[in-house]
Amino acid sequence: MLRLSQLFVRTLRDDPSDAEVPSHRLLVRAGYIRRAAPGGYTWLPLGWRVLRKVEDIVRQEMDAMGAQEVHFPALLPRDVYEATGRWTEYGDNLFRLKDRKGADFLLGPTHEEMFTLLVKDMYSSYKDLPVSLYQIQTKYRDEARPRAGLLRGREFLMKDSYSFDIDDDALAVSYAQHRDAYERIFARLQLPYVIVKAMSGAMGGSMSEEFLAPIEVGEDTFVRCSACDYSANTEAVTTSVPTADSNTYDASSTIATPNCPTIATLVDFLNENHPRTDRPWQASDTLKNVVLRLRQPDGSTETLVIGVPGDREVDMKRIEAQLSPAEVEPLDDAGFAQHRTLIRGYIGPQILGSTSDSGIRYLVDPSVVHGSAWVTGANTKDTHVIHLVHGRDFTADGTIEAVEVAAGDPCPNCAAPLEIARGIEIGHVFQLGRKYADKLGLTVLDHNGKQVVVTMGSYGIGVSRAVASIAEVFHDDIGLKWPRAIAPADVHVVVTGKNGDDITIAGEKIAAELEAQGLEVLIDDRNGVSPGVKFKDAELIGIPTILVVGKSLAEGNVELRDRHAGTNEAIPVADAVTRVVALARSGQ
RNA sequence: CGGGGUGUGGCGCAGUUGGUAGCGCGCCUGGUUUGGGACCAGGAGGCCGGGAGUUCAAGUCUCCCCUCCCCGACCA
C-alpha cells in the first residue's frame, strides 16, 4: 500500500516557472518527476510506477508478436559507428567521450549497428530468419534544444526493435507485424494517434510511417484530409498532378519594372501600369525562381534553380528529402558571383535548363503546369516578362515537390482540402532495407547455399515521451487524469479523519480490503492535513478512482469519485470494496 | 547556431537613487482547527547563476561566461 504519509513525494501549489507545456507542468507539480540536468529528469516513485506500466504494456505486445527482448550497453565503442559512417554523420547530436586510455566512446543515440552486429555474430542461415529483437533502453542525444520536459530530452527511454529477413516480402511481413503491435500498444495506452507517411530520406529505406499523437504542443507538422483518411508528414506529401492549362495567352512581352524588388511591389506595379482586363494581378501569377546549391556526398556540387508560384513558400525539407542523399542550401554570394547570368530578383527560366546555354538544371513545382502563363524575371535588372508560358516560352528539366504544403491544398487522394495539424511523434516504423547489413556485412546463406544480404526494419517507441504524451491528452486545469492501465495506483483512498477516529479506522479497513483483492491502493493517511488539501492533491495526482472516507460515514456512506467524469457518488460503506474492485477490473 | 526573455532559501515572487536581503507557500516546535489548498505564536533555511571589474560600499552599475524558457535553424 502506498501511504501518502510515507510516500516520497511533494506536491507543489504553484506551477514551476520553467515549465510551459501541461505535461511538464503537471508531472513536476504532482510529484512524478523532477528536473535533474539539462534535458534530464529524475523519476520519483509515482512517475516511476507510471513509466514501468507503459514499459510493461510495450513489452507484453512486443513479446506477443514474437519479438525477443535483449539489452545492450548504452556506452558503445567508436569503431562500430565508424563502420557505418555515423560517428561523423551523426554530428553534434552524438554524445562522445573518451576512456582513460584515450579511446573514443559514445552514448548510444540508437542501436542499429549493435543489433546488426549481434545477429551477424550469432546467425548465418536463412533458417534462422526471420527474427525480431528489441530492447527498452536509455538513449542519449545531445539535442540542440531540449524542451517541454519529457517531450524532448537529451536522455530518454526508448523501445527500439529491429527485424531481420531474407527478402523484401518477408520484411513486409515483419513490418506489418510491428505496425499491428504498435496499434495495439497505443490503443492500450489510450493514446490517440494517426499514422502518417514519412520520408525514408537519407536512411535509404523504402517505407516509413510515423505514429503521431495529434497534440498542439507537438513538434511535428502533418497534413490530414478533411474527407478521406489520407494523412502524411508535411515533407512526405505528394500532390496530385494538376491538369495542363489549355488556355491561349498573348505573346510574352518584356516590360520595365523599376523599384520592384519583391513580389508584392511587382504585383502592385503591374496593377497600376499594366492592368489585366479580367481581374487584378496576384502573387500567384508570378513565378519565383529559387537558386540552390546541391552538395553530393562525394563532395561535388551543382547549382539548381527551382520555380514555384510567387504566393507560395519553398519547403527546403521537402526538396532535400527528394534530392537525398544530396544536401541542399541556398546559393550564397560567392555562388552567385560564379553565375553572372543570374540577376538576383530578376531570374527567369528563359535562360535556364540543362539544354540551355547556362546549362543550369531547372525544376518546377507541379503546380507550375504545362501551358500556364507567368510573370517572371527577364534576367535583366528592373525588367520582368509577362505572359511567359510553360512549354511555349520556356521548358523545365522536370518537376519537384517544392512548395510548403498549406491548409486548403487538395488531398492527393480525393482532392478535398487538406488540414494542417501538429503532433508528437510517439512511434516510427521503418523498412531500413540493406543499408546496415551491407555496411556491416550481415549475410546469411540462402537455401541454395548462396550468401545473401539480410534486409532489416527498425521500429521505435519513445517510452518516456509516451508518458508525457498521455499526460498531454489526459489532464485538466487542476491536474492529471491517467488512463486506468497506467495510473500509478488503481484507487486513491482519501481519509479525512484524525488519527484513531472512526473515519480513519474505516478508511484503513477499506484500503486493506481493496489491497487484499489485488488492487494497488494509494491511501492519504496524513494526519492533521485538512480535507481541502487532500482533495486538491488527489485531483492533481490523477488516479482515476478516488474513494473518500469522510463525514458521510455518519450516514453509512463513502464517496466514489471519478476523476475523468468528474462525478461524485455516495455509496454505502458495505458496497465500497465491491464497487471499486469492479471498476478497477473493468479496465475503463 | 540566430532572435527574445530569465536567473534571489525546496516552490512562486519582491527588492527604490548602490548602503550589507524580504514576502507568500512549504518545512520545524507548541497550541487551536478538520469537507475544498485553516489559524495563532515561535523557529530553521540564502556564495542573490559563475567569474572579472568599478566603488569606501554591488542583488542593484560594467564586461565576459553559463542556465532555463519561448521563437527559429537543427532533430535515425
Q: What is the pLDDT of residues A94-147, one digit of tens each?
A: 888 887 788 888 888 888 889 999 999 999 899 998 999 999 999 888 877 777
Please give the pLDDT value at position A270: 79
Residue A158 contacts strand B, CB under 7 A? yes
Amino acid identity, residue A531? P
Please give the pLDDT value at position A519: 95
- Cα–Cα distance measured from residue A455 to residue A174, given in angstroms and rounded to the nearest whole number: 11
DSSP three-state, residue A463: helix
- Cα–Cα distance measured from residue A485 to residue A500, given in angstroms and rounded to the nearest whole number: 34
- Cα–Cα distance measured from residue A229 to residue A231, given in angstroms and rounded to the nearest whole number: 6
Q: Given the C-alpha cell 487532500, which residue does it identify?
A: A534
Tens digit of pLDDT for each residue in A17-47? 888 888 888 998 999 988 877 778 888 899 9
Q: What is the DSSP string of A17-40?
A: TT--SHHHHHHHHTTSEEEEETTE
What percent of chain A lies above the pLDDT cut of 70?
95
A231's CB contacts (< 8 A; 6+ apart) are: A194, A195, A196, A197, A222, A223, A224, A225
- Cα–Cα distance measured from residue A336 to residue A287, given in angstroms and rounded to the nearest whole number: 20
Q: Name the residues in A547-566 having a C-beta closer than 7 Å to nucleic acid strand B.
A: 548-553, 559
Furthest C-alpha separation in chain A: 98
With residue A580 as reference, give the H or E element that holds it. Answer: helix A573-586
Which nucleotide across the nucleic acid strands is nearest to A503, CA versus C1'? B34
- Cα–Cα distance measured from residue A90 to residue A405, given in angstroms and rounded to the nearest whole number: 28
Say if strands A451-453 and A443-445 run parallel, antiparallel, or are unpaired: antiparallel
Q: Name the residues in A72-111 having a C-beta closer than 7 Å to nucleic acid strand B.
A: 93, 109-110
Q: What is the DSSP string of A468-517?
A: HHHHHHSEETTEE---GGGSSSSEEEEE-S-TTSHHHHHHHHHHHHHHHT
Please give the pLDDT value at position A204: 45
- Cα–Cα distance measured from residue A525 to residue A6, given in angstroms and rounded to the nearest whole number: 9
Tens digit of pLDDT for each residue in A153-196? 888 899 999 999 999 999 999 999 999 999 999 999 999 998 88
| Average pLDDT for A383-400 | 82
Which nucleotide across the nucleic acid strands is nearest to A537, CA versus C1'? B37
pLDDT band at A203 (very low <50, low <70, confident <90, very high): very low
Give yes or no for a contact between A379 and A393, defined as CB atoms under 8 angstroms apart: no
**Positive or negative CA dihedral for A51, A52, A57, A58?**
positive
Residue A14 contacts strand B, CB under 7 A? yes
A433's CB contacts (< 8 A; 6+ apart) are: A171, A204, A205, A206, A455, A456
Is the ipTM value over 0.85, yes or no?
A: yes
Nearest to A454 by CA among A439, A429, A433: A433
Nearest to A388 by CA among A403, A376, A406: A376
Residue A422 contacts strand B, CB under 7 A? no
Please give the pLDDT value at position A324: 65
A157's CB contacts (< 8 A; 6+ apart) are: A51, A55, A136, A137, A138, A139, A462, A463, A464
In order of A90, A426, A574, the CA distances from A209 in angstroms are: 22, 11, 52
Please give the pLDDT value at position A158: 93
Residue A432 contacts strand B, CB under 7 A? no
- Cα–Cα distance measured from residue A148 to residue A19, given in angstroms and rounded to the nearest whole number: 7
To the question of pTM greater than 0.90 for the whole model, the response is: no
Query: Can you say how many angstroms the Cα of residue A552 is from the centroid of all Cα atoms in its chain?
Result: 48
> Within 7 A of a protein CB, which nucleotides of strand B?
1-2, 10-13, 24-26, 32-38, 67-76
Residue A498 contacts strand B, CB under 7 A? yes
- Cα–Cα distance measured from residue A396 to residue A373, given in angstroms and rounded to the nearest whole number: 14
